[in-house]
Structure 1
């Protein structure tokens, strides 16, 4: 696990989804010329929601003794569920610009998990989203 001190920007597939009333973005990034999207980039898009809220949500929904790697897996599986199943999906882009601002948290998985080797979280922006798409939503559940 490490912090994201430099920030990151890219163009890739992006899924925008709601979870517990908040809106998050899930993009992929690659670390080398193979371009396999080995990094999952996930962060909140709802104004006023900061990236630690994602980790707090994972902590409240996971096992009390869960370590960061297990929490990262929980975060990634929620984004993967939205991508694959369309659950709570707001938008799906095949080639969209995004930016992960400096700060945040990185976790490397010991083995590939949900087709990703790393999870990078932080405050995220995605090009072309309207205020209505990123606004907080009603939810039966709060985490």
Structure 2
């Protein structure tokens, strides 16, 4: 896993969901103009919550010493579950502008997982989100 080093932005489908009281955004990025090599993009939208919290959650929900690949797959699975099943989903938008901050982590999978070839995480912003949509949520469990 390497640091992203520069930001990433795009426009497309965005799913907003909450997990363990924090609100996250999930979108995809195409690696080339043929729209092949999709990667998942996930990051917190709740103000004051850093992307590291997402990795901390993944570590807490996996076996001790789990690889970064396994943690990344867990993160992507949670985002995909919100997209497909609506679990914790706050909103789904067909076309929103989004921006992933310059810091974060990326993981390239050896094979496709949840129909993605990798995962990029970082601090995420999504245009048009109201403060009540991204505010911390009550939850049974806190990390």
Q: Same fold (TM over 0.5)?
A: yes
Gaps of 5+ in 1: none
- Larger relative strand fraction: 2
**Aligned match of 1:93:** 93
Q: Within 5 A, what are the aligned runs for 1:129-140?
A: 129-140=129-140
Q: Secondary structure at the match of 1:121?
A: strand
Q: What is the distance in 2 between the residues matched to 1:10 and 1:83?
A: 18
Q: What is the distance in 1 between the residues matched to 2:51 and 2:130?
A: 20
Gaps of 5+ in 2: none
> C-alpha offsets along residues 98-117 of structure 1, whole Å, 9 cap, x if unaligned?
00010000000010000000
Q: Number of residues paired by the alignment?
A: 143
- The reply to whether residue 76 of structure 1 matches residue 73 of structure 2 is no
Query: Which 4+ runs in 1 deviate beyond 3 A?
Result: none
Q: CA deviation at 1:36?
A: 3.9
Q: CA deviation at 1:132?
A: 0.1
Q: CA deviation at 1:19?
A: 0.1
**Aligned match of 1:58:** 58
Q: Secondary structure at the match of 1:65?
A: coil
Q: Secondary structure at the match of 2:128?
A: coil
> C-alpha offsets along residues 75-120 of structure 1, whole Å, 9 cap, x if unaligned?
0000000000001100101111000010000000010000000100
**Aligned match of 2:123:** 123
- The reply to whether residue 26 of structure 1 matches residue 48 of structure 2 is no
**Aligned match of 1:12:** 12
Question: Which TM-score applies when normalising by structure 1?
Answer: 0.98
Say which is worse superposed, 36-45 or 6-15, in terms of deviation: 36-45
Q: CA deviation at 1:37?
A: 6.2
